[in-house]
Amino acid sequence: MRRSGEADSFDVTITPRPPTPPSAVRTVESAGRLIPAPHSTGLPFWRSAAVLLLLTGIVVTLAGTFGPWLRSGSVDRNSYQIVGALQRFPLVDNAAVSGLLGAWPLLGPALMLPLVLAAFRLWRSAGALAVVLGIVGVVPSVVAVLVVGTRSRYGIQLDLVGPLTVIAGAVLVIAGGVLLMASCRRDIRVTVRGVPPRSAAGRPASGNR
């Protein structure tokens, strides 16, 4: 018989929950923060598509700037050679045109910046910069095609291969930038009991922008 005052005793066995394997954890971006979520690999589809468009557009644009833009007899000249000649012999007295000519050789290195920003997961900044650079690339190419066209003067003729290639590449860059910015709107805002979401590594995720 149990004496009064004696406490009941129970045997309790606690089985620890096995940790979730890294392969079953994915990170979902949420208003600049990352939260754990199951069954995922890599970037979201639309963001991956945007990066692929951006990368393809950059390659095509760079190929177009080095392609033939001007044909003089049997000699083809690319856009950088034309810009250098125009800077040595200024034919247009316009500050905007002069600034564009001076910035044209920097277009190639500048096109790498959206990829660098994307590598740091600064998606909106990468998309916005890609759109701006795409416009910088497409405007002079369109002007060259529409204004000069296929007319020939003094044996000098515009070669449409270079400008049309740049236009195609710049359009892809712009499309990739727009899609990259639009993909940020698809992110899910998640807050659990007022605690900020955490990354898969257990640290509060850095913001994206």
Q: pLDDT tens digits, residue range 101-152?
A: 788 899 999 999 999 999 999 999 999 999 999 999 999 899 888 887 766 6
Domains of the chain, residue spans: 47-184
Q: Which token pair is 24?
A: 């079953």
Note the pLDDT of residue 144: 86
In this predicted structure, the answer to whether residue 191 has a pLDDT above a threshold of 60 is no
Q: What is the CATH number of domain 47-184?
A: 1.20.140
- For the cut 50, the answer to whether the pLDDT of residue 45 exceeds it is yes
Long-range CB pairs of 112-120, under 8 A, 24+ apart, other chains included? 112/58, 114/54, 114/58, 114/173, 114/177, 115/54, 115/55, 115/58, 118/51, 118/54, 118/180
The H or E element containing residue 165 is helix 161-184
16, 180 contact by CB (below 8 A): no
Question: What's the chain's average pLDDT?
Answer: 76
DSSP 15-34: PPPPPPPGGGEEEEEETTEE
* Res 124: pLDDT: 93
